[in-house]
């Protein structure tokens, strides 16, 4: 599970711990991952830490191969790590476009490719990619992020088709406005405005994304594949 140190990733990791999965926490800083691991183990679950920058494809693939071989299987992959580098398209640099594509999209491709082999071997797999409503409807100032998140949908639907006969499902969760460090950075006035137009009249909580991930990662979700599950308090309805 990538980007497990905080926010949505941490909530998913803790939920998976409660669900009885052995969770491998992957992000860039050991100390923050260790605190998530400790929270999971204190709650009676099992977790371990791997430090990796998902922007480094070779390192990421290496970690996934190592985890599959150390644990003897790989049942679930969650690609959650993500960044934003916002700016209107006229002013968006090539670097900001490439950085967001590398961390948000290319990393998921690399991780899925590395995970496909052990999952197919085990004839079981659940791939959950964390997209965004921005990838569904676009958003001013986020051409890079929207392209990456929409790309995740294409990647995921293709995986569903290629891996479906091997017992492997692949789905996207597209969150709306969720309270995390990522949205903390937005101006309060912008958040107030967005919330006013939401049917739910509030921002979402990371635990509400974790609940969706828990379902898609479960054995019971075997017949759900290639889907985009929008969890947005009605933002796009």
Helix axes 143-163, 94-101, angle to 10 degrees: 30
- Taking contact as CB under 6 A, which single stretch among the options 14-22, 161-169, 173-181, 191-199 is the one that binds ligand NAI? 173-181
Minimal CA–CA distance to 127: which of 78, 160, 60?
A: 78
* Active site annotation includes 124: no
Which strands form 125-130's sheet, in the order they lie side by side?
Answer: 76-79, 125-130, 168-175, 228-231
Residues 6+ apart with CB under 8 A from 234: 198, 199, 200
CA distance 92 to 99: 12
Q: Residue 125 or residue 204: which is nearer to ligand NAI going by CB?
A: 204
CA distance 164 to 214: 19
Among 16, 97, 124, 145, which one carries the catalytic annotation? Answer: 145
Specify the 3-state DSSP secondary structure of 22.
strand
Q: Residue 106 or residue 124: which is nearer to ligand NAI going by CB?
A: 106
Q: Which 49-108 residues touch ligand NAI, going by CB under 6 A?
A: 53-55, 80-83, 103
* Residues contacting ligand NAI: total by CB under 6 A: 26
Structure tokens at 55: 């922007």
Q: Residue 132 or residue 144: which is nearer to ligand NAI going by CB?
A: 132
Among 175, 210, 225, 235, binds ligand NAI (CB under 6 A): 175
Task: Tell whether residue 233 is a contact of ligand NAI (CB under 6 A).
Answer: no
Among 1, 7, 105, 144, binds ligand NAI (CB under 6 A): 7
Q: Which residues are catalytic?
A: 145
Residues interacting with ligand NAI, by CB under 6 A? Answer: 2-3, 5-9, 27-28, 53-55, 80-83, 103, 130, 132, 175, 177-178, 180-183
């Amino acid at each position: 599970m990538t980007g497990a140190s905080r926010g949505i990733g941490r909530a998913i990791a803790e939920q998976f711990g409660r669900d009885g999965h052995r969770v491998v926490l992957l992000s860039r800083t050991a100390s923050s991952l260790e605190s998530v691991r400790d929270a999971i183990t204190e709650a009676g679950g099992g977790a371990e830490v791997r430090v990796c920058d998902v922007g480094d494809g070779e390192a990421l693939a290496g970690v996934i191969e190592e985890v599959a071989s150390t644990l003897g299987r790989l049942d679930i992959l969650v690609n959650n790590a993500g960044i934003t580098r916002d700016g209107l398209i006229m002013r968006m640099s090539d670097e900001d476009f490439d950085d967001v594509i590398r961390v948000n999209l290319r990393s998921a491709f690399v991780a899925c490719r590395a995970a496909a082999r052990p999952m197919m071997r085990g004839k079981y797999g659940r791939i959950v990619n964390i997209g965004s409503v921005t990838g569904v409807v676009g958003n001013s100032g986020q051409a890079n992020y929207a392209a990456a998140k929409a790309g995740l949908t294409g990647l995921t639907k293709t995986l569903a088709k290629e891996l479906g006969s091997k017992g492997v499902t692949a789905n996207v969760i597209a969150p709306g406005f969720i309270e995390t460090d990522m949205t903390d950075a937005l101006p309060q006035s912008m958040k107030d405005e967005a919330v006013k137009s939401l049917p739910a009249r509030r921002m979402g909580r990371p635990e509400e994304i974790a609940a969706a991930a828990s379902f898609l990662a479960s054995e019971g979700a075997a017949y759900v594949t290639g889907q985009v599950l929008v969890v947005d308090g009605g933002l796009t309805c």
